[in-house]
Amino acid sequence: MEPTAFVQVLEAFKAERLAPIVGAGQTALAEGAGGGDPTELLRVALVNEISVAELAAVWIPRTPEVDVKIAFARQAGDEAGHFQLVAQRLAALGFDAAAFVPPPDNALFAYLKGLETTVERIAAGLVTLESIAYGVNENFMALCASRGDDATVRIYRDYIQPDERAHQQLGQSLLAKYATTPDSQTLARATVARVLEIATAARAQAAAKLGTACFPGC
């Protein structure tokens, strides 16, 4: 398939598979089940942000294409910045972010770190992971707004979400450049599907633990 057309088809496929993840948060909000401790939800954000920053950094030396290296470097830096913003917000809420210790990789990040090709990494990290983050962050912002937490909403609206959108767009352009053969396009589609499959299961488990499906992504 022509690469630009493939990316458009892949976006539609991704949106269909992403809908249940985003829909779970929307349903929770509509039913008044958007609970969860505010500090605990932001601590989830800390885990996500540092995990993605580390993932992108791990990929940089393993990826031969210079433009993709730079994309991952940009992503790593942006996610590190998000970590700092969330840490500052948590400090204002009384949580000592300096005492934060990232947990071991979960199943999703273990899978992501094992990806071997550039196309897989673009499809997983820039295209899919950031799409999940953008969608679930919209729900989280709505939850924060309902609680009057304008400071957290501002962090996501003004800083985090624009970066997540930019990462997705960068990933789409890189995928159009590198997913040019039937095999590479099949691999990209399979990677998107697998990331969303693992993420759906992981977020369902986390929602049960946190008491809400309205928690942030990366």
The percent helix, strand, coil of the chain (3-state, each to 5) is 80, 0, 20
Nearest by Cα to 213 from 143, 159, 160: 143
Give the Cα separation of 45 and 100 in Å (integer). 12
What local confidence, expressed as pLDDT, does residue 136 receive?
96
Residue-averaged pLDDT of the chain: 95
Its pTM stands at 0.94
Note the pLDDT tens digit of each residue in 78-121: 999 999 999 999 999 999 888 888 889 899 999 999 999 999 99
What local confidence, expressed as pLDDT, does residue 34 receive?
64
Please say whether the beta carbons of 159 and 78 come within 8 A: no
Average pLDDT of span 49-75: 97
Average pLDDT of span 152-168: 97
Give the Cα separation of 45 and 160 in Å (integer). 11
Nearest by Cα to 48 from 18, 87, 12: 87
Percent of all residues in the chain with a pLDDT value above 90, rounded to a whole number = 85
Give the HSE-up count for residue 1: Cα atoms under 13 Å, Cβ half-sphere: 17
Please say whether the beta carbons of 196 and 188 come within 8 A: no
What local confidence, expressed as pLDDT, does residue 178 receive?
98
- Domains defined for the chain, CATH in brackets: 3-30+39-208 (1.20.910.10)
What local confidence, expressed as pLDDT, does residue 28 receive?
86
Query: pLDDT: is 38 or 168 the higher one?
Result: 168
Give the Cα separation of 141 and 213 in Å (integer). 12
Residue 71, classed as helix, strand or coil, is helix
